[in-house]
């Protein structure tokens, strides 16, 4: 324990020395006068203010004094009353330095599961110690794509009052949360940030937050292996289908589901890698592609259920003009329309989920918690619809077997296996996520990631079975009369 304490103390002392070193460099820039500053991970500017008569404003990191630019995430305002109290040679002139840190390496947070908003720290300096301002300095930290789920926000400054210990302190700062950012009103000059700590900001939190970093690592590994296998087999299914050419409706619907799941597996495999690059536009594109693939997969699950309903439940009058074209417009068009609207609202980007042991999961996804909840509701609706469809088909098959007792046990076993395969085809196995509560949360995630990451392998096997010649002639485009004479268990094999 003593060794650990000594190591931590030495580490903190080293950071403190580095901070004083950087602070002396910033003061040197201020003394040198007006200039643009770009040093390692620090950007900013020194502005010479004379005959101070208006509020000083600046956006960071662009150092634009008029408006926010696309990549800016900080906007500050210093009222003229505050500027006039600076103890300089002439009360009407001052060198004002504003600096923006690209990371928070020099400013660690001591508490577990606590971090800084967007890892941003901003410094306002004049080369003198300024405090107890009657007119507060205002700094707006924009949320950008930060996750605020289950977080409390507090404006803080880097307190180095004790030469041996430095820490984040909220004294002298007032926090006000707005729609797109947090307003910090502080009565002194220092290094500022917004601290994100665990708290009940939102009534609903993501289940992932109850997992540890090791569990997430293992779940990610299982998912990557399964999705990699699925991706290969789905590509094989698509290539085989392209060589076969024209097929019956059931196979065409099935291959559309394969393509949507293929895209979902691909975007999942590359999502966190692209998120780690911290390129905003690339993360937005990745998040939109991932969300679109997920919505398409869920929609094609429902279209598989709809097609099954027509073949086995409705039976009569199941022919529709341009049937596949209409299904395609629904399966690919509706998700595309939703994604375009969300992208236009700027709700895609980098998303960080905090874990209960202090770790984080970084990905490109929806940045609005409400939209994430709506997407989950879409998933719930899909599962409910397909469960109802699956239940109706099961009842139909059981009744058919009871009415024809001559059917062999082998035929019954075949029907049972077909029903189990159909449950996977309709995405019923995804319903295991409904059990992500309490002590079942982690178990549900392990089952989901293990079973459903291999979904693509099953779809390939199902596609292969559908394309094999059958001794019993059967066509999905049968007439109403002929369809009515087909046993439901037989029809299942061709769905």
DSSP string of 322-378, one letter each residue = THHHHHHIIIIIHHHHHHHHHHHTT-EEEEEEE-TTS-EEEEEEE--HHHHHHHHHH
Q: Are residues 145 and 49 in the same domain?
A: yes
CA dist., res. 213 & res. 199, Å (int): 20
From 198, 225, 245, give the residue that closes a domain: 198
Dig out the tokens for 247 from the structure: 């097929």
Count of alpha carbons within 13 Å of 420, Cβ hemisphere only?
Answer: 7
Asked, for residue 431, whether it belongs to a domain, the answer is yes
More confident residue, 430 or 361: 430
Dig out the tokens for 121 from the structure: 């720290």
Strands (DSSP E) contained in 232-354 are 348-354
More confident residue, 300 or 111: 300
% of the chain with per-residue pLDDT over 70: 72
CA 345, 346, 349, 352 dihedral sign is negative
Return phi, psi of residue 159, to 5°.
Answer: -90, 115
CB 37 within 8 A of CB 29: yes
What pTM, to 2 d.p., does this model score? Answer: 0.59
CA dist., res. 146 & res. 177, Å (int): 14
Check pLDDT > 80 for residue 123.
yes
Asked, for residue 1, whether it belongs to a domain, the answer is no
From 198, 221, 243, give the residue that closes a domain: 198
Residue 25 pLDDT: 67
Task: For residue 80, give Cα distances in angstroms to 56, 136, 140, 408.
Answer: 7, 10, 18, 92
Q: Are residues 187 and 214 in the same domain?
A: no
How would residue 7 be classed by pLDDT, with cut points 50, 70 and 90? very low
Is the bond into 454 cis (omega within 30 degrees of 0)? no
Q: Are residues 219 and 311 in the same domain?
A: yes
Query: Which SS3 state, helix, strand or coil, does residue 240 take?
Result: helix
Asked, for residue 155, whether it belongs to a domain, the answer is yes
User: Which residues pair with residue 140 across a beta bridge?
Assistant: 75, 183
Q: Are residues 262 and 216 in the same domain?
A: yes
Question: Count of domains in the chain?
Answer: 2
How would residue 332 be classed by pLDDT, with cut points 50, 70 and 90? very high
Ranked by mean pLDDT, the top range of 389-393, 401-405, 420-424 is: 389-393
Q: Domain with 166 in it: what CATH number? A: 2.60.220.50
Query: Which SS3 state, helix, strand or coil, does residue 38 take?
Result: strand
Dig out the tokens for 343 from the structure: 């992208």
Residue 202 pLDDT: 33
Asked, for residue 436, whether it belongs to a domain, the answer is yes
Query: Which SS3 state, helix, strand or coil, does residue 302 take?
Result: helix
CA dist., res. 456 & res. 453, Å (int): 7
Averaged pLDDT, 161-168: 66
Q: Are residues 154 and 269 in the same domain?
A: no
pLDDT one-digit tens code per residue, 200-222: 433 233 334 457 778 888 998 99
Q: Are residues 366 and 287 in the same domain?
A: yes
Q: Are residues 155 and 29 in the same domain?
A: yes
For 131-154, give one letter per residue: b (16+ CB within 10 A) or e.
eebebbbbbbbbbbbbbbbbbebb
Q: Are residues 403 and 482 in the same domain?
A: yes
Asked, for residue 265, whether it belongs to a domain, the answer is yes
Q: Domain with 364 in it: what CATH number? A: 1.20.1070.10
Return phi, psi of residue 176, to 5°.
Answer: -130, 125
From 198, 222, 247, give the residue that closes a domain: 198
Averaged pLDDT, 277-298: 91
Dig out the tokens for 337 from the structure: 């329309």
Return phi, psi of residue 43, to 5°.
Answer: -130, 155
Q: Are residues 485 and 373 in the same domain?
A: yes
Q: Which helix (H) or strand (E) holds 248?
A: none
CA dist., res. 96 & res. 333, Å (int): 54
DSSP 131-159: ---SS-EEEEEE-TT---TTEEEEEEEEE
pLDDT one-digit tens code per residue, 35-79: 787 777 777 888 877 666 677 888 888 888 877 887 788 888 887
Residue 336 pLDDT: 95
User: Which residues pair with residue 96 across a beta bridge?
Assistant: 47
**Helix %, strand %, coil % for the chain, to 5?**
50, 20, 30
More confident residue, 174 or 356: 174
User: Which residues pair with residue 174 across a beta bridge?
Assistant: 185
Q: Are residues 191 and 218 in the same domain?
A: no
Asked, for residue 98, whether it belongs to a domain, the answer is yes
CA dist., res. 466 & res. 475, Å (int): 11
Q: Could you tell me the residue range of the domain that residue 37 belongs to?
A: 7-198
pLDDT one-digit tens code per residue, 362-373: 788 887 777 877
Asked, for residue 137, whether it belongs to a domain, the answer is yes
How would residue 92 be classed by pLDDT, with cut points 50, 70 and 90? low
Residue 285 pLDDT: 93
Q: Are residues 233 and 117 in the same domain?
A: no
Q: Are residues 280 and 169 in the same domain?
A: no
User: Which residues pair with residue 84 across a beta bridge?
Assistant: none
Asked, for residue 39, whether it belongs to a domain, the answer is yes
pLDDT one-digit tens code per residue, 171-201: 888 888 777 788 898 888 888 889 887 754 3
């Amino acid at each position: 324990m003593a060794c650990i304490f000594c190591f931590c103390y030495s580490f903190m002392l080293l950071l403190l020395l580095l901070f004083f070193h950087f602070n002396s460099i910033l003061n040197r820039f201020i003394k040198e006068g007006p200039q643009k500053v770009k040093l390692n991970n620090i950007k900013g500017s020194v502005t010479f203010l004379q005959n101070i008569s208006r509020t000083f404003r600046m956006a960071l990191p662009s150092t634009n004094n008029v408006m926010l630019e696309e990549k800016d995430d900080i906007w500050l305002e210093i009222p003229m009353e505050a500027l006039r109290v600076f103890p300089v040679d002439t009360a009407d002139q001052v060198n004002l330095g504003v600096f923006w840190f690209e990371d928070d390496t020099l400013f660690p947070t001591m508490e577990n599961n606590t971090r800084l908003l967007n890892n941003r720290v901003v410094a306002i300096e004049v080369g003198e110690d300024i405090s107890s301002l009657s007119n507060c300095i205002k700094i707006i930290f924009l949320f950008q794509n930060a996750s605020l789920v289950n977080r409390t926000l507090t404006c803080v400054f880097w307190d180095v009052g004790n030469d041996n210990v430095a820490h984040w302190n909220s004294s002298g700062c007032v926090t006000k949360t707005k729609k797109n950012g947090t307003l910090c009103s502080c009565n002194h000059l220092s290094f500022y940030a917004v601290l994100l700590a665990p708290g009940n900001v939102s009534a609903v939190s993501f289940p992932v937050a109850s997992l540890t970093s090791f569990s997430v690592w293992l779940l990610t590994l299982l998912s990557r292996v399964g999705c990699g296998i699925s991706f290969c087999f789905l590509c094989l299914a698509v290539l085989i289908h392209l060589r076969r050419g024209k097929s019956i409706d059931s196979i065409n619907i099935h291959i559309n589901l394969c393509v949507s799941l293929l895209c979902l597996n691909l975007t999942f495999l590359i999502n966190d890698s692209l998120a780690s690059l911290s390129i905003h536009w690339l993360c937005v594109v990745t998040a939109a592609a991932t969300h679109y693939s997920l919505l398409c997969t869920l929609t094609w699950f429902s279209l598989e259920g709809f097609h099954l309903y027509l073949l086995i439940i409705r039976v009569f009058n199941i022919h529709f003009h341009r049937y596949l074209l209409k299904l395609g417009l629904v399966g690919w068009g509706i998700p595309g329309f939703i994604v375009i609207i969300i992208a236009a609202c700027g709700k895609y980007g980098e998303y960080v989920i905090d874990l209960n042991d202090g770790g984080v999961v970084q990905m490109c996804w929806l940045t609005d918690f409400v939209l994430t909840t709506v997407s989950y509701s879409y998933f719930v609706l899909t599962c409910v619809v397909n469960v109802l469809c699956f239940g109706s088909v099961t009842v139909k098959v059981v009744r058919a077997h009871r009415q024809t007792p001559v059917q062999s046990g082998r035929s019954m076993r075949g029907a049972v296996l077909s029903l189990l395969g159909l449950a996977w085809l309709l995405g019923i196995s995804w319903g295991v996520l409904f059990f992500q509560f309490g002590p079942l949360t982690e178990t549900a995630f392990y089952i989901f990631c293990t079973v459903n990451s291999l979904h693509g392998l099953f779809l390939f096997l199902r596609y292969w079975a559908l394309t094999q010649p059958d001794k019993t002639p059967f066509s999905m485009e049968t007439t109403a009369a002929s369809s009515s004479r087909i046993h439901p268990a037989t029809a299942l094999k061709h769905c």
